[in-house]
Amino acid sequence: MIPRVLLTLALTVTVAGASEQTTYEYQIRDGHSRSVCTRMQEVYNRHFEKPHDRRDVSSLVGIKIPAPRDDKLRLRLLVPSFHPSSPEFDAVKWKVKRLLPPSSATYGPRAILVATLDIDNDGSEEIVIKQSFYCGRFGREELMVYERGALDVSQNELKADELWSKTNVPKFVGHGAYVRPFVLDGTTYVHEYEYRRASVKEVEAGLGETPFQAPEYVSVLRYRDSTPGKRGTEIQDLVCKFEMVEK
């Protein structure tokens, strides 16, 4: 029988995740549009070589990120929604706003992202809100989609109660660790990053959730529609899938 200590050490080696210094090459594993996949491979290899390195990011769209103990809006969780980036991702004009919690909540306001863009490529812009941000240990992100005019997003604050009510039921997009829309040649796509999650046995062995384990993938998706109020019902096309290979 293998001693438990040695078994734990072996598992530790197996699940060691990438670090901020890790550099990658993006290799196409599945592609359904040669032009899009070739272009995005160039984008990723040029701008996303070190996707986990955000140590020097000190502000977002002109807003200074406070020290962790003072970051009451949790602005630091928004950093992966902006960095790394490229002109395709910068085409989505995210605005940082405050989300006021329900009156019964025990926590304070949180920072969220709001943009207007034609995320389903139907010729009309929608309101896209991002309030779920990857925070480690099984974390995932998603986008909430509303018809234009369903919410008043002109103010700097939104109320949580308004994001899901009898008259406002959002559609959901994305289930990956990082979910980011971008625009290429006038078409909106969804970038979804995911990695190998720790198995139940690894968690039971005391290893917890080690982020950024190989294999790491980036999928480029074209979203078309989903059922209001129901997560995981997206109708979307896989355009490209890239494996992130450490250099």
In tens, the pLDDT along 133-167 reads 998 767 899 999 999 999 999 999 999 999 988 88
SS3 letters for 188-218?
EEEEEEEECCCCHHHHHCCCCCCCCCCCEEE
Residue 6: its pLDDT value, please? 32
In tens, the pLDDT along 185-220 reads 999 999 999 999 888 888 788 776 678 889 999 999
Residue 234: its pLDDT value, please? 95
Give the bridge partners for 110, in sequence order. Answer: 99
- Is the bond leading into 181 cis (omega within 30 degrees of zero)? no
Q: Domain of 147?
A: 4-246
Range list of β-strands (E), 90-135? 95-100, 110-117, 126-132
The total of structural domains in the chain comes to 1
CA distances from 142 to 41, 56, 77, 87, 192 (A): 23, 25, 13, 22, 10
This prediction's pTM = 0.90
- Longest CA–CA span in the chain (Å) reads 64
The secondary structure of residue 179, as a DSSP letter, is E
Contact 237, 188 (CB under 8 A): no
Residues 139, 19: Cα–Cα separation, whole Å: 17
